[in-house]
Amino acid sequence: MLYPLKFKPIHKTTLWGGSKLSRYHRHDAGKLKQVGETWDVSGVEGSESEVENGFLAGNTLNELVEVYMGDLVGDAVYGRFGNQFPLLVKLIDSAQQLSIQVHPNNEIAAERHNMSGKSEMWYVLDAEPNAFLIAGFCCPVDKTTYLKLVAENRLEDVLQKHPVSKGDLFYIPAGCVHSIGAGCVLLEVQQTSDLTYRIYDYNRVDAEGNLRELHTDLAVDAIDFENWRNSKIVPAALHNEVVKVVDSEHFISNIITLDKPQEYDLSTIDSFVLLTVLEGHLRCKYDDDYITLVDGETVLIPASMNSLVLIPTGKVKLLEVYIQS
């Protein structure tokens, strides 16, 4: 019988990473420095998540998909993605600003790399004063103008900066130029892909003193110049109800704010569900057992589970993510 699964975070050191992720339960990086990301639910080859709880502890997510198929991810999801787990969940700590970048869509990624594209969403878990994110352009830009600005190192002139604070939420579709500014801690949910086209990187050098590679030619054809705007998503402030925030072909995400125990009915969803605690403390009761979750933790609820009871301690805010059937 499958049950809610927790995974061991996979720490990733980066040029721009910091030390803030160690504040989150089970995310202590030990002696590692500049941890920019933890991959908390991952089926990416070479970085497969390992189960931490229950009798399946020690198995990787990819092994479970291969064995349990639709019981784990949902019949429709398995039919669409096969043994590839379709989503990747990360925590991100940007001690420095990330490069300006864009991700290709499914069609371009398949043609060029035989991979899926990369659309993603961000939820701001913490932000220092004056922190910002870049998402989209501040005015219409065509391909010719874009290439001229890149050549002149003036692309920042047309990028849209969004001041951010804890609780802000953005959807970044493939083709949207974006960057994470310094001083942000984010939860990121994305398609299972590690494809990034780096456009500009402030002339930074890597550990060997080399300028980081840019992907100007690849990026220009991946940018969606028509849909140049991007805005913060502001969910309705409702308690004990499901509030939809992202409705895309790649994933559905909802905010659930609870202040009392609630039956969590999953019988109509033919998909696994990823449940992340954004704020607070939660017990998930199932059969004769339960697991606990605190802020920053994600649990994978198998598709074969039809219901649980969610028991918050005080008020808790959750992000629910699944694949549309």
b/e string for 297-314 if b means 16 or more Cβ within 10 A?
bbbbbbbbbeebebbbee
Interatomic CA distance for residues 244 and 252, integer angstroms: 8
| Residue 230: inside a domain | no
- Over range 170-177, report the average pLDDT: 98
The phi, psi pair for 229, rounded to 5°, reads -85, 150
5 falls within a domain: no
Co-location of 129 and 22 in the same domain: yes
Residues 46 and 165 in one domain: yes
Q: What is the CATH number of the domain that holds 189?
A: 2.60.120.10
Q: Are 186 and 98 in contact (CB under 8 A)?
A: no
Asked if residue 208 and residue 168 are part of one domain, the reply reads yes
- pLDDT score for 251: 98
Domain boundary among 161, 187, 222: 222
CB 76 within 8 A of CB 132: no
Q: How confident is the model at residue 189 (pLDDT cuts 50, 70, 90)?
A: very high
Same domain for 150 and 269, yes or no, is no
Summarised one tens digit per residue, pLDDT across range 1-46 is 899 999 999 999 999 999 999 999 889 998 899 999 999 999 999 9
Domain that holds residue 306: 242-322
Give the model's confidence band at 203: pLDDT under 50 very low, under 70 low, under 90 confident, else very high.
confident
Residue-wise pLDDT tens digits, 144-164 = 999 999 999 999 999 999 999
Is residue 234, in this structure, part of any structural domain at all? no
Residue 208 or 224, more confident: 224
263 and 119 within one domain: no
Q: What pLDDT score does 206 carry? A: 75
> Within this chain, do residues 53 and 194 fall inside the same structural domain, yes or no?
yes
Dihedral, 125, 129, 134, 136 alpha carbons, nearest 10: 90
Report the number of distinct structural domains present in the chain. Answer: 2
pLDDT confidence of 129, banded at 50, 70, 90?
very high
In a domain, 4, yes or no: no
**Contact indicator for 300, 3 with CB cutoff of 8 Å:** no
* 187 and 265 fall within a common domain: no
pLDDT of residue 227 exceeding 80: yes
Q: Are residues 30 and 141 in the same domain?
A: yes
pLDDT at 319 over 80: yes
Q: What is the DSSP string of 181-249?
A: -TTEEEEEEEES----EEEE-TT-B-TTSPBPP--HHHHHHH--SSS-----B-----SSSEEEEEE-S
Its pTM stands at 0.96
The answer on 171 and 28 residing in a single domain is yes
- Which of 172, 192, 222 represents a domain boundary (last residue)? 222
> How many CB atoms lie under 10 A from the CB of residue 184?
27
Q: Are both 254 and 145 inside the same structural domain?
A: no
Same domain, 76 and 144: yes
Confidence at residue 24, expressed as pLDDT on a 0 to 100 scale = 92
CA–CA separation, 131 and 39 (whole Å): 23
Q: Are residues 87 and 212 in the same domain?
A: yes
